[in-house]
Amino acid sequence: MPTWQWILIAAAIIVVIVLVVLAVRSGGGRKRSEELKQHFGPEYDRTVERTGDTKAAEKELAARARKRDKLDIVALSPVARNDFEVRWAQVQTDFVDDPARAVGTADVLVTEVMRQRGYPVDDFDRRAADISVDHPHIVENYRAAHSVHTAQQRGEVNTERQREAFVHYRALFERLLDTTDNGPSKDTSKEARA
């Protein structure tokens, strides 16, 4: 067989190998996309919309998951859990007389629970990103509640919005107190989808 035929066969083999590698990579990318969509749910769509690019959004969500994996998130001790439950019950009672103060206290309690569980709490955006990994169906509600909390400090919030914020805080608070919750979850509860 002449040399040119060997070269042609080798080139064809190389082309086939390249096509197989590209097909495998493409299939792996679709699988990764589906896994991220399934895990993050509405947070996936929100991130794609915010970034304007699916690949950039997926890169960001994967980075969030890697950062979250490095955290040592622990369950609350029974004593700490009970203390937080008692404090929450008081805040809930206080909502009737002073909704603005109760929403502010709810924000503080959620942050304290996060701190005690092991989440970094210095920056709200970081808190929301970390929560989005473990509780992707609640994180948008957390953002909305926090937004109401900051808006009410400027006097821009009515009682109905404060009530909605309080309900959102309660949903996250309950998930954070869950003693079986030591990692990412799919938040399938009715309140989680509120």
pLDDT for residue 179? 60
pLDDT for residue 118? 94
pLDDT for residue 103? 95
22 to 25, 26, 55: CA distances (angstroms): 5, 6, 17
pLDDT for residue 4? 76
Q: Mean pLDDT in runs of 10 for the chain (194 residues)?
A: 80 83 61 87 92 92 93 94 97 94 95 95 93 92 94 88 95 86 42 33
pLDDT for residue 23? 62
pTM: 0.74
Amino acid at 144: A
Burial per residue of 11-31, b for 16 or more beta-carbon CB atoms within 10 angstroms, e otherwise = eeeeeeeeeeeeeeeeeeeee
